[in-house]
Structure 1
Amino acid sequence: MNLSSTLLARIANTSLVLQIFIGIVAGILLAVIAPDWAMNIAFLGSLFVGALKAIAPILVFLLVAASIANQKKNTQTNLRPIIVLYLVGTLCAALAAVSVSFLFPSTLILQTGDQTMTPPQGIGEVLHTLLFKMVDNPVNALSSGNYIGILVWALGLGLTLKHASDATKKVFWDMSHGVSVMVRFVIHLAPIGVFGLVAVSIAETGFAVMHSYVHLLMVLLGTMLFMALVVNPLLVFIKIRRNPYPLVLTCLRESGVTAFFTRSSAANIPVNMALCERMKLHEDTYSVSIPLGATINMGGAAITITVLTLAAVNTLGYSVDMPTALLLSLVASVSACGASGVAGGSLLLIPLACSLFGIGNDVAMQVVAVGMIIGVLQDSTETALNSSTDVVFTAAACLAEERKQGQ
């Protein structure tokens, strides 16, 4: 008894990544050894998905509203090129994800039930649906998981609260923080939920489900590597007009490696600040741009949202035309900026992108759960890309400014 208690205590004290990995392995073993038992624990996965489904709409609403309401006016004019790089980089990441998803389409094994959803017939219907979802009753949007409506009302409330008193803004900020803590609690239940999801998936479909996970993971990681080693260097070269790879590789080594293991852009801010100091960048610039980048520079999150959404679309057999794909890229880019400060935040914004295609919340949350399963590598790589790019773009803008002054 003492031995088992000690073992469980050691597992509980390990990192969440290792716990999820243990849950995956345990689920596979249970499905192989005792498939009947595996079917009986299906409720664990359902409870986990249900908890995500319940908290995600509130999180998105409060996080976006509080972030906009508490946004300070930008008084540093030299931050403008860095912000432009952040936004352009995030949009490029979403576009790259769309391109790779078309080249290497992914599918998932989802329980779609008897849903009667019909795919949108081109960009016109998508925009028509989008407009009506934007003006949905805010209470109904929260209760039904209409993320488009949630986002619009959160933006509106955030903009109006910018003129409110500091005390009111702080209340919303504290509420946002409180919900984020609740989300972190739900995320820490991921090992149990993943255990149930993997066990029942393999018991029902065999190891075909693992093949789809591996393919999806390869698409995600390949796109992120493409961004880190091709697109980002190209953007830096346009800015500094010289070989970008010494800067890019230094940032990947000094910032990306630590971010990979901490899996938190916020936790990696001190590492990035110290790196900027060693690179002798302007302190007034990087002291603002690095924390800001941890909020809005979310290329990895845009890739995750786009690839998983298109995987759900492919699974349901929907066809996507190019204008709709471009709209998805834009939505994924904007959504990614709301993923900051929350573990697995990019996954919780997938339903927002899925709603463009009429995909219901039940199916979308299953996609989120799949993201949790592959998150052992996906989330670590996503954080490494996001955090290292903060320094890359800050340094590129500073070097470009120095080049201008030297001319």
Structure 2
Amino acid sequence: MSTQTSSRSSGSGRSLWRRYLDFPLIWKLAIGLVAGAVAGLAIGEPITVIAPLGELFLRLLKMLVMPLIIVTLIAGVSSVTPSALGRIGFKAFVFYLATSAFAITIGLGLALSVAPGTGLSMPGDEVEGATPPPVSETLLNIVPENPFEALVDGNVLAVMFAAIVAGLALTFMRGSDDDRVRELGDFLRRGVDGAVELVFLVIKGVLQYAPIGVFALIAVVMGETGVDSIVPLAKLTGVVYGGILLQILVYTAIMLLFRIGIRRFYAAAKDPMLTGFVTRSSSGTLPVSSRAAEKLGVREGVYSFTLPLGATVNMDGTAIYVGAATVFVANISGVELTLTQLATVVLVGVLASIGTAGVPGAGLIMLTMTVSQTGLSMAPVALVAGIDALLDMARTACNVTGDLVATRIIAQTEPGMLRDPDAPEPHDAAHALDGTGTPPDGGRGGDGGGSTAAAT
């Protein structure tokens, strides 16, 4: 009898855990945010006893930064075959990186003008921002004397550079005419893929703990500051959404320059935009984006390359978020960002966009990279974490829109790559990426980017 009772109890426990895992993360974060705010306001300062739960969440985020940079950058860069590094690849890279740099500048500019976070302070946040080095030293330090030392020191830019170089080398190994070198390259790539899956599994676990961390962080902040933090968070949300609307207007202006039909474009793009908003995954939206590209008349020779690449390196919405949120963190920390720090934010944001994982919430880790590199305190990131899901939806919709804009423009500039959109395609549109429904990188789901992951 006792054995049966124990069995039922154990089954019930597993059932509750499974229900928690299956419950959408966005709702868990929302519940954690609201519950934390209510608990903090109701209990007041004694709620600070749960502060270690929030600190644990911050430590988990920091723990993921370097492994995520290394594996996703190597995987993302090495996924581009040497034969694809031609005209289409060059145009795509230039477009994606240029618009990302412009987008993060929009986020910085709007945030500096609105000044979200001004007047708010984090309880117990006495960490002063480190004095940033000169611009010349920052640029020179991108190339590490010792990549392992850069890894230990947490030098984000240097680790990124080393990972990009390794990814490029792996690309040429896999395309080598020497059978031995090519086989070794393929073997190393499988190892990188395994490392990516391992890191993503850890991220998945951290995100399951995120609602608890957000609850504790918000509760402590509300218990100490009261309702003073609500207005700054609302300002940050307004800045991010306003910046994304401005970025979409920029896309529209660019398409007008190329005489692309705006109405037809957005009629085709509305499905991936909505899918990206709901799923918060650029890479998970790839099949929908591919069908939209076909509706626009883009041939597979272009979109099968530019869309997966865009899911990896084109993070315009995330760049706006990182720029605005970095100013938010600086304002709460009482630090006035210098020109060197602003330039560092742009540089880190653009480089980080290459390797941002294609999973919901990865933009928060990208923000962690930027805040760490600029020498700001990590504590205010807790506030941003509470509304990250809300911001993630808009930035993902912006990301997938930018992917389609680049794809349509590149197709127009390449002979024979743009057909009459009203003419039927000879192949089944369901096989949207490589003729089998599988993206070139293996089709793993997941915003912010894509690397080999199928992350905001």
Q: TM-score band (shorter)?
A: 0.7 to 0.9
Partner of 2:389: 376
Q: 1:134 to 1:27 in 2, by over 3 A?
A: same
Kindly state the Cα deviation for residue 330 of structure 1 after the two structures are TM-superposed: 3.2
Partner of 1:212: 232
Deviations 1:349-382 (A, max 9, x none): 22432345333xxx23x34433321122100111
Cα separation, 1, equivalents of 2:250 and 2:227: 35
Counterpart among 101, 105, 108 of residue 115 in structure 2:
105
Pairing 1:397–2:410 present: yes
Q: Which runs of 5+ in 1 are unaligned?
A: none
Partner of 1:235: 254
Cα separation, 2, equivalents of 1:368 and 1:32: 20
Kindly state the Cα deviation for residue 253 of structure 1 after the two structures are TM-superposed: 1.8
Counterpart among 36, 41, 58 of residue 27 in structure 1:
36
Q: Which runs of 5+ in 2 are unaligned?
A: 1-8, 174-183, 420-456
Kindly state the Cα deviation for residue 231 of structure 1 after the two structures are TM-superposed: 0.9
Partner of 2:106: 96
Counterpart among 208, 223, 227 of residue 203 in structure 1:
223
Kindly state the Cα deviation for residue 233 of structure 1 after the two structures are TM-superposed: 0.9
Contact 1:12–1:19 (CA under 8 A) maintained in structure 2: no
Superposition map of 1:353-372 within 5 A: 353-359=370-376, 363-364=377-378, 366-372=379-385
Structure ranking higher in helix proportion: 1
**Which ranges of 4 or more aligned residues in structure 1 deviate by more than 6 Å?**
4-9, 402-406
Cα separation, 2, equivalents of 1:63 and 1:378: 22
Deviations 1:66-94 (A, max 9, x none): 32234312436445434432222212211
Partner of 2:443: none
Cα separation, 1, equivalents of 2:95 and 2:298: 17
CA RMSD of aligned residues (A): 3.0
Matched to 1:275, the amino acid is A
Deviations 1:248-306 (A, max 9, x none): 53255221111100111111001111112233321221122111111111101111221
Contact 2:123–2:224 (CA under 8 A) maintained in structure 1: no
Cα separation, 2, equivalents of 1:296 and 1:394: 13
Pairing 1:190–2:210 present: yes
Counterpart among 116, 126, 131 of residue 119 in structure 1:
131
Pairing 1:310–2:319 present: no
TM-score, L = length of structure 1: 0.86
Deviations 1:33-68 (A, max 9, x none): 333562222222111111111122221122212322
Cα separation, 1, equivalents of 2:283 and 2:418: 32
Matched to 1:85, the amino acid is F
Partner of 1:17: 26
Counterpart among 192, 195, 202 of residue 175 in structure 1:
195
Q: Rg bigger for which structure? A: 2
**Residue range with higher mean Cα deviation, 43-52 or 154-163:** 154-163
Q: 1:9 to 1:351 in 2, by over 3 A?
A: closer
Pairing 1:297–2:306 present: no
Deviations 1:101-127 (A, max 9, x none): 22212226435644354434xxx7243
